[in-house]
Structure 1
């Protein structure tokens, strides 16, 4: 047996929860997962690094001929009945927020993106509470939630992506892999019960960089189903296409997961950020102001969504669109003029996705669910649109031609604010927050900080005044101005003020790095400030 050590003592009132979640058999399952797949995961990290280095000198991506792409006859395995309708999921639902999770379970949607990734901050306490709440919900014992998982929306469990380590667990002297910990615990405690209820286990898979990584997940699924004694093919997973490399391997990704596939999903902000991460040190890949110039109507993003839809439908798989992040104001229910305007904008954008052929999408605000459901009733009489086949003939140029447009002072201010506030909330142990009428998470923080880095790198000219360029000094002034404003209006304690100051300096560090990290969550998860705030019990149980 492996030597597995928990480096954290349980937080107050969670002693029994930690003991139950990480019982001996669960720890052994996690350790066996790591032993089985450690070599492949290390290979994945090395391949990512090599590919990133190659991208510095070669951005000429193109579709490659493969047996999976050339064979037009294969299809993914038949979907379970509960997954035939993928019209609407609630997104960014962290089960560590019990009230929000219970509310989601009572919503009139098909699924819930139960998030350990973009909208979740993986403090040890948050992990324990989330694992516990999911198990209680699956067993019909979560207070206020449906008594049967069959009568609630399906749980679409999203483990952390491969870039995240679990610093609080050592396996044979090595830090554990966040994705395997989340997947392993969720499977060990819930897989059999979900299978018996014909309700899972179902997953979202984040930030894959191609078919080889999909193949690795498929191998993990096969091994886990055998180890837990559930039938092969029971697990179903939807891959979020959030990486530019994956866009050129859609057929191959679906093929790799064909017995476990639940199709593909579009996540535009992570996707745009990946273009900057891979090729952003070239001026032709400088992305303009995202609030003014970057949306799904633009050719490079419209082509991306059309490619996802056409590829999925050709293989009998559902294709899902992105998340509507707009929020109604607190206390509003959709009947006032302001709320109606927000809802109409959401419905207009989602109707375009439906017309493109998507089989579903996500929203965050449950108050807009009735309006979106009505939209589907009017425009989607069937459970899905997989019968609609397309031949959009998308080329590499369609995907890689960055739209024209400039940089606005308001866009700069907004990106600065989102970057600082995301880090501020992460340091507080919160994975998403609300700003300027939208829910913001790591995806929007990723594109925000990436754009600022790029604009500084290329001295982007402001549309507001062609004589002013984006410089480190200008960004620092805007960051200081925002931080001073937030100190007065957001912070109520000395600890909050210190956290905001730290968030400002950490943001500036990201904006100015010569070689910035690809993922803001990796940067934060590995940062001593974050780990000090949330690891006060470190080694106290050894």
Structure 2
């Protein structure tokens, strides 16, 4: 096709590739990308310009004066929530659909929904993208024996890549295409009508949205797609993840821009916390303390963000969802550890329920039933839209950093998570298990952000008063690399890959300027287009 350049099919996925990338599908994708390529450029330039303005003037973000009329108008609401989204108590998170077995297990669970993830929990190799989209296609068309029809299974909350990611394997007019348009376009072309006909979608998560202008662009994409596919206006519904401190000041406007297509907003802890380093990490007044000791949803800046999100959503008739429980249940249900994990997750999720959220995610499928029971014990009905926190959240509430310092334990843990995420990425995985938790790009993001910031400000360790320097971190990386090799019983080949990951981690955390997203850095500076390391 003229002006289109596609890579060859990934090895072993020739049939899946040709099923998805038909001439008609490629034509649709090309039209979509051509229509919005320039607009994607503009929002990325707007992000850069906004950051420059904040830095040049040493400004702080605030609620936008020009949008006061939207926030002060009590009358507008988002369109009614579809029937299948009324109850979103427990979704299964970080479900990379290329991992067929886990995807199918999630579909067989009692969860209300599944975060079908091409973003934080997924490594976007061409193999993974094609395999994942094909697996969704098979499920939607009821081609998988033993999997219930899509109208009876948990709803699919499809999460395409965020704006910072590109698809290296497709060029339109000589340019690599935006990753989210590749994912969204193929998913909509092949499954949009079928999902709509079964009242099961199409439903999306939108990651890393930073402003109402980005929400406006997504709304334009939705309208264009609905018209092209002859779907009624408002068929597509999207939950926006508020993962940037800048977006927290524009939540009302984000809902307003997507009011015909909104399924609500989502709050999480680690990407949001990392955004403070991303935007203000060079400023000493935004020094984020040890996350393992001093950062949790009960802290003022995070509690305020969650309260504002719930208040904003419920005032406008939208659902407010919380973050993901990353803890993993031990196999022995009779063990003290099993009880401790269950109690820890319960405490965190009761806190979110009491804040008024309508649902949240868990990674471990074994946590679905007990967390559903928790909702039943603490709430009445399928959601908490009637709960509107009577709080007045100020600029200071959202920007105040928690008190606390830095510990050697926290530094080493961040180093370990950062190295292991890069190691997982090199083998084509977007998440991994470590010391009883699932870790993904969100936890890798906060981990490498903190290490970069602590080097940048030469912070003192609480343990002995020594300063965090580049040399200290380089020595710690060597120690952690050896410890991980022994702890995880790695082979010689695996140790070589871990060493490569450790070298990349050191490279990232000592950059003069903060690399905006670790996934962008790995995808652009360390491109593994085909195969795995």
Q: Does 1:170 align with 2:168?
A: no
Structure-to-structure mapping, 1:225-236, within 5 angstroms = 225-236=226-237
Match of 1:238 in 2: 239
Match of 1:470 in 2: 468
**Is the 1:491–1:497 contact (alpha carbons within 8 Å) kept by the matching residues of 2?**
no
Match of 1:519 in 2: 517
Instruction: Give the drift of 1:350.
Output: 0.5
Q: For residues 491 and 27 of structure 1, do their structure 2 counterparts lie closer, same or farther at Cα, with a shift above 3 Å needed?
A: farther
Match of 1:411 in 2: 410
Give the match's secondary structure for 1:530: coil
Instruction: Give the drift of 1:145.
Output: 2.0
Match of 1:325 in 2: 326
Give the match's secondary structure for 1:40: helix
Instruction: Give the drift of 1:173.
Output: 0.4
Runs of 5+ consecutive residues of structure 2 not aligned to the other structure = none
Tell me the distance in 2 between the aligned counterparts of 1:122 and 1:421: 17
Tell me the distance in 1 between the aligned counterparts of 2:54 and 2:173: 34
Deviations 1:208-260 (A, max 9, x none): 01100000000000000110111110100000000011000011000000000
Instruction: Give the drift of 1:198.
Output: 0.4
Match of 1:3 in 2: 3
**Is the 1:427–1:533 contact (alpha carbons within 8 Å) kept by the matching residues of 2?**
no
**Is the 1:166–1:177 contact (alpha carbons within 8 Å) kept by the matching residues of 2?**
yes
Give the match's secondary structure for 1:403: coil
Instruction: Give the drift of 1:495.
Output: 3.6
**Is the 2:126–2:530 contact (alpha carbons within 8 Å) kept by the matching residues of 1?**
no
Deviations 1:516-535 (A, max 9, x none): 21100000111345347559
Tell me the distance in 2 between the aligned counterparts of 1:426 and 1:121: 6
Tell me the distance in 2 between the aligned counterparts of 1:12 and 1:252: 44
Which deviates the most, 52-61 or 469-478?
52-61
**Is the 2:161–2:179 contact (alpha carbons within 8 Å) kept by the matching residues of 1?**
yes
Tell me the distance in 1 between the aligned counterparts of 2:122 and 2:507: 23
Q: For residues 490 and 10 of structure 1, do their structure 2 counterparts lie closer, same or farther at Cα, with a shift above 3 Å needed?
A: farther
Instruction: Give the drift of 1:493.
Output: 4.3
Match of 1:117 in 2: 119
Tell me the distance in 2 between the aligned counterparts of 1:206 and 1:470: 32
**Is the 1:165–1:176 contact (alpha carbons within 8 Å) kept by the matching residues of 2?**
yes
Tell me the distance in 2 between the aligned counterparts of 1:132 and 1:45: 29
Deviations 1:412-469 (A, max 9, x none): 0100000000000000000000111111000000000000000011111111112x11
Tell me the distance in 2 between the aligned counterparts of 1:384 and 1:523: 39
**Is the 2:204–2:237 contact (alpha carbons within 8 Å) kept by the matching residues of 1?**
yes
Tell me the distance in 1 between the aligned counterparts of 2:464 and 2:10: 52
Match of 1:61 in 2: 61
Tell me the distance in 2 between the aligned counterparts of 1:286 and 1:533: 39
Instruction: Give the drift of 1:143.
Output: 3.8
Match of 1:504 among 502, 505, 512: 502
Q: Does 1:303 align with 2:301?
A: no
**Is the 1:85–1:384 contact (alpha carbons within 8 Å) kept by the matching residues of 2?**
yes
Q: For residues 337 and 492 of structure 1, do their structure 2 counterparts lie closer, same or farther at Cα, with a shift above 3 Å needed?
A: closer
Match of 1:96 in 2: 98
Give the match's secondary structure for 2:513: coil
Tell me the distance in 1 between the aligned counterparts of 2:28 and 2:62: 40
Match of 2:130 among 128, 149, 152: 128
Q: For residues 143 and 428 of structure 1, do their structure 2 counterparts lie closer, same or farther at Cα, with a shift above 3 Å needed?
A: farther
Match of 1:449 in 2: 448
Match of 2:258 in 1: 257
Give the match's secondary structure for 2:116: strand
**Is the 1:59–1:279 contact (alpha carbons within 8 Å) kept by the matching residues of 2?**
no
Tell me the distance in 1 between the aligned counterparts of 2:373 and 2:247: 33
* RMSD of Structure 2 on Structure 1 (CA): 1.4
Q: TM-score, normalised by structure 1?
A: 0.96
Match of 2:289 in 1: 288
Structure-to-structure mapping, 1:478-489, within 5 angstroms = 478-489=476-487
Q: For residues 492 and 336 of structure 1, do their structure 2 counterparts lie closer, same or farther at Cα, with a shift above 3 Å needed?
A: closer
Tell me the distance in 1 between the aligned counterparts of 2:236 and 2:453: 40
Tell me the distance in 2 between the aligned counterparts of 1:287 and 1:399: 14
Q: For residues 530 and 392 of structure 1, do their structure 2 counterparts lie closer, same or farther at Cα, with a shift above 3 Å needed?
A: same
Give the match's secondary structure for 1:392: coil
Deviations 1:347-381 (A, max 9, x none): 11111111111111110001111111110111122
Tell me the distance in 1 between the aligned counterparts of 2:145 and 2:59: 52
Match of 2:80 in 1: 78
Tell me the distance in 1 between the aligned counterparts of 2:302 and 2:293: 14
Tell me the distance in 1 between the aligned counterparts of 2:120 and 2:200: 24
**Is the 2:127–2:530 contact (alpha carbons within 8 Å) kept by the matching residues of 1?**
no
Instruction: Give the drift of 1:338.
Output: 1.0
**Is the 1:422–1:433 contact (alpha carbons within 8 Å) kept by the matching residues of 2?**
yes
Match of 1:540 in 2: none
Q: For residues 492 and 452 of structure 1, do their structure 2 counterparts lie closer, same or farther at Cα, with a shift above 3 Å needed?
A: closer
**Is the 1:154–1:200 contact (alpha carbons within 8 Å) kept by the matching residues of 2?**
yes
Give the match's secondary structure for 1:263: strand
Tell me the distance in 1 between the aligned counterparts of 2:226 and 2:208: 23
Tell me the distance in 2 between the aligned counterparts of 1:104 and 1:49: 38
Instruction: Give the drift of 1:478.
Output: 1.2
Tell me the distance in 2 between the aligned counterparts of 1:454 and 1:153: 40
Q: For residues 475 and 42 of structure 1, do their structure 2 counterparts lie closer, same or farther at Cα, with a shift above 3 Å needed?
A: same
Instruction: Give the drift of 1:6.
Output: 1.0
Deviations 1:49-68 (A, max 9, x none): 11111121323221123221
**Is the 2:10–2:530 contact (alpha carbons within 8 Å) kept by the matching residues of 1?**
no
Tell me the distance in 1 between the aligned counterparts of 2:334 and 2:206: 36
**Is the 2:125–2:528 contact (alpha carbons within 8 Å) kept by the matching residues of 1?**
no
